[in-house]
Structure 1
């Protein structure tokens, strides 16, 4: 049985970027298996992965790009169908790096707190700035309508609670939403909820996963562990990515509720009551 399994979904990913995160995994002193789930048009990465000569790392060529969540579900399904036993599972972006003992800290904390379904570390930008990775459940105003608001002050006011700008990121807290760049979950939880909802091609699949996990288990931000993430915000630079983000946001609200979402109201209020100063 593995202490944890992990998956990185790639799509024309830079090799230098992938090399850095694979080397991070190779420093981990736990029993693990890492899959590279490749959504690219060609299997050019296969030879590159094989050069690591590490039987803990396996390459899967999907021969199609059915989305970020689908790429991860390929590995989740493999784990379940092949009877590969693992205590935890990590779904991580290729543009993440972490220091030695980071995952060990997370595993240790999860083992001591068995009611946690998903955990997220503190995330820093490459320049050392804090990435505000915790969120409340979003409203349509937070995700869609703010893009069309011309007044910056109004947008900032709308984002203040949603992005939890009142939180100092120094203590362990329960949160509604964690960043999708580093999703660390208990494997039996992932098996029960069934992985990602593949209706989301890209964006919002992590929000949806958090909501489903949070119905029965704790979702916890754990600042004792830190990672570094490039954090590109592609949807703010590309019209194509922006449209993908919008499309996924519409699917999210169609599923969970636009303006009438009782769970959103209760959980957001509870989080602010407990932690907002």
Structure 2
């Protein structure tokens, strides 16, 4: 069986109504598709709410992490010869034409390996989820030095690429994992999520690996909505996972001597300074 497009949502004790919104958004947007629900929760109570011929519900009976959960779906999608795969957060929702817009762009632009739509809060405010590659200084400052708002705002002006206006198609080296529209042939070359990274920075790592070989693109003509729970700001256990994942990311790519990071970020900044 071949699906033109597949998608996956990793579940862990999520808000049921928000999850239903994400599931329905995808199912209403597609026909030639399969949606994987990868449940890392302690129980499979979600199963009864998502019985549908295009849903493949998989209960892991333990929390194996964000990337490892999506990899279960991605491996099966590869066997199905899926053309595209969407990584979805359980707290997103969108109109029925979003997937068609993204798929049309990918069909037309063969060098694009990953695209992300414009992401808004439910009240319509922009979520600045296009970013440069992070340094340890940037991540530490953003998480622990928020009592310097003017300094943080200046840092985010550059790191979150706010200078771009978020109003044009642009290449971005780090796209958020809340909605990743992926070309499957790209993943066959660069690999899947790094399962050593349990939660957070796995999207940074995957986007970076794709960006080295393909275009990774922000596409504002398609818009989604994201509740954005920001769990590490509310839960100390999740904060610990965030810190451990950041350590693994920097151990992999380099802490303070990451010349590739500096080169990629500089190329992005130079491009916009010349626009």
TM-score tier, shorter chain, comes to over 0.9
2:13 counterpart residue number: 12
2:104 counterpart residue number: 108
Question: TM-score, normalised on structure 1?
Answer: 0.94
Return the alpha-carbon distance in structure 1 between the equivalents of residues 241 and 140 of structure 2: 12
Return the alpha-carbon distance in structure 2 between the equivalents of residues 22 and 151 of structure 1: 39
* Change beyond 3 A, Cα 1:134–1:77: same
Match of 1:257 among 244, 254, 271: 254
Answering whether residue 217 of structure 2 is matched by residue 217 of structure 1, we say: no
- Computed over aligned residues only, the root mean square deviation of the Cα atoms, in angstroms, reads 1.4
Return the alpha-carbon distance in structure 2 between the equivalents of residues 229 and 124 of structure 1: 6
1:164-192 residue CA offsets vs partner (Å, 9 max, x unmatched)? 12111111000111111001110111122
Return the alpha-carbon distance in structure 2 between the equivalents of residues 257 and 137 of structure 1: 12
- Structure 1's consecutive aligned runs of 4 or more residues displaced over 6 angstroms after TM superposition are none
Return the alpha-carbon distance in structure 1 between the equivalents of residues 44 and 188 of structure 2: 28
The CA deviation at 1:159 is 2.5
Structure 2 stretches lacking a partner, 5+ long: none
Return the alpha-carbon distance in structure 2 between the equivalents of residues 184 and 62 of structure 1: 24
* Change beyond 3 A, Cα 1:30–1:48: closer
1:75 counterpart residue number: 73
Alignment of 1:147-166 (within 5 A): 147-149=143-145, 150-166=147-163
Question: TM-score, normalised on structure 2?
Answer: 0.94
Answering whether residue 126 of structure 2 is matched by residue 126 of structure 1, we say: no
2:202 counterpart residue number: 205
1:116-135 residue CA offsets vs partner (Å, 9 max, x unmatched)? 00000000001110110100
1:171 counterpart residue number: 168
SS at match of 2:22: helix
Alignment: residue pair count: 272
Structure 1 stretches lacking a partner, 5+ long: none
Return the alpha-carbon distance in structure 2 between the equivalents of residues 146 and 67 of structure 1: 23
1:90 counterpart residue number: 86
Answering whether residue 137 of structure 2 is matched by residue 136 of structure 1, we say: no
